[in-house]
Structure 1
């Protein structure tokens, strides 16, 4: 088996880069290149699970952000033997909802969660593929706290450091890959 550093380099080598997407001047970093490679996908899972197990053995719920965070939250929750819950864009969930508006680097949106998704005091890790300007992750932390969740950490695969999204967050952040 490869070392964690070798696994991380393998995953990073499979991250796709798309200049000028979704608009001119943005360099889009995409995890789908890694997810289409079985070895990179397995390494990504292993790296994230190992981090969570070692740093937050008491986590009770993994919350994934719409939409790429969904690819990770069920996978991680299953490996950890805990539950998972989605944060979705407005209009995608049924039932009693709580919402938060947020700004993106190229617009704004609203995140929602089902009111019953988090029990008060439940220990939560929020997961997503990318931390850019921090708007969506900041909204997610606000939403989890509105529902009474205790955020242990936000975990992302990729962090675009030059956009300083981490500065907008009032929780610990772990990123596997930094650009």
Structure 2
């Protein structure tokens, strides 16, 4: 990919500490932090904008509530000076926030997304962003998700949940890259 515009914006989605707490089902991607930090470092080196997206749960007792320690961003994913933070309470980063307005004021037409979890807030944000007319790029190996139960009580492995969601996003809503491909497209060597 060699046509990544200078006005593209990186949207790390819900890279928050609560997802490491033991009550969550098994995750699949042991490289999410490594890959996400490589994307973030390369992006910052390219001089492009970053808008961090955080989930502020309104569910009583949630470890993602604003006052809970798990709401904090994971080490290394904290915003740097000049980087905005969007706080949402639903799955889509564009719903109930000023993200769309910010991006339009920045004359952004391309967003690059990674984060947690592939099948929930990442997928929903990709779909809504695409429906709003943005060119969306998903960095698939900088995403993670959890094992799920189907309607019959059977476990669906997180790897399969991820694979299927990435396939549907690739089909209609996003260009899909891996970390190495994005870093190469940015012309950096992280």
Given the two structures, how large is their TM-score scaled by the length of structure 2? 0.43
Given the two structures, how large is their TM-score scaled by the length of structure 1? 0.45
- The structure carrying a bigger strand percent of its residues is 1
